[in-house]
Chain A
Amino acid sequence: MADVSKLSSTTTAPAPLSRWKMRLIRRPEIVLSPILLVTVLGLWEGGVRFFDVPSYMLPRVSTIIYGLYQGFAISIFSRGGYWLNGAVTLAEVLLGFVIGSAIGLVLGIFISQIRLLDATLRPYIVAFQCLPKVAIAPIIVMWFGYDITSKVVMVTMLCFFPLLVNCMVGFRSVDTDRIELLRSLSATPSQIFWKVKFPSALPFIFAGLDIAAVFAIVGAIVGEFVGAQLGLGVQILSMNAQMDTAGSFSVCIVLAVMGLVLNYSIRAVQRRVLFWAPSEAIQQPINV
């Protein structure tokens, strides 16, 4: 840092650079990223106006933002607004995420502790992973109906697999030296589990939660597409039917923000719990 300020002060001003400028020199992306966004949106807006693109094909950015405002300006109990539909979708996402992750975690731990069970179930788990689970959304809606339950089941199922699979991989890749160390101290199986195996598998479990969070929103929207009375997915469908493309885009923005907040919350917990682990994520390819 000292070198940078020295160099710049000799070539430009004699006064030392402010902290703000120092940050800019070290990380120009903090300015470049917003500039890129503004440029792209500006080109979009200008292009649509210049070429007179019909708004049902590609709406103007300003129209999308206005649609966003309209969606939230409406009463929170209105069936046409983003508050109620957003709350329904969020409830489906959170409920399904918590239930699915919990079941996946518990079953994953259970299966990975019993070698025979692991070996017996593995081919079926692998096979199920290759099935795009959204394909069975219509069946789930048929079984559980048009209210929130079917969507929660859908999200649960999508969140279950990343946790199950990452748990199984995580527990299998525990450093055997760590286990041998505990065994040499005559540790009980439960001591080995809590002191070594579980913490060692945590980075994998968090990677599973990261994936599950993304899948949760996909599951809720697909479920709502197939059959629901309320939710942001329902709203996208009805807006599309009315050629309100700007409205559809604005719902997508709401969904993206929802996903970002969910993902960010998990990362925040992860940073506290996994302060000791290298930060690169352990990703397992899992089919939606």
Chain B
Amino acid sequence: MSVRHALLALLAEGPKYGLRLRQEFQAQTGEVWPLNVGQVYTTLHRLEKEGNVESDEVDGTQKRFRITAEGSRELQRWLHTPPDTDAPPRDELVIKVQVALRMPGVDVMELLQVHRRHMVEAMQRYTHLKAETPPGEVGLGLVIDAQLFRLEGIVRWLDAAEARLRHLPDQSWAASDVDLAPDTGSLRQRANALGGNR
């Protein structure tokens, strides 16, 4: 979550004081990410140093901030830059399942189900919150949907993992040589090799 760019976006609407920026940031994100005043001012001063915002002093102490042309360009650049999806993250759940495959006496299907249940329980809490959220609260709605899709992705991965293991001959996965620490380098090399073959 980039506080820098969220503040730039709020300033793109017009000049604002730091306290108002904090209130608007929290309201826009459904009050999910608390932001302290210190964090707001530290970020604003950094933006000012970079030439992305300017400030003027009003009433002696309070500063009002406005976005510069450079800041608007930075905001546009950030909006249009896709998040990094190249390298698979070091996913704790993937590693747990890989470790379990190597461990004698662990029921991997049961393990997958334990995690599936936890994910679905979390999804129930978010969906029930969504059911009670008025349609006008767009910020919170977007956060809940994003979290639901993330959790659903994990459940679908668990389902796919189960199907993958079920299709192997009995227990043959238990003896297979599982790569415990996925090496993103080698995955990238394989992806590059596939790209080169096209």
| A and B from one complex | no
Chain A residues engaging chain B, CB cutoff 8 angstroms: none
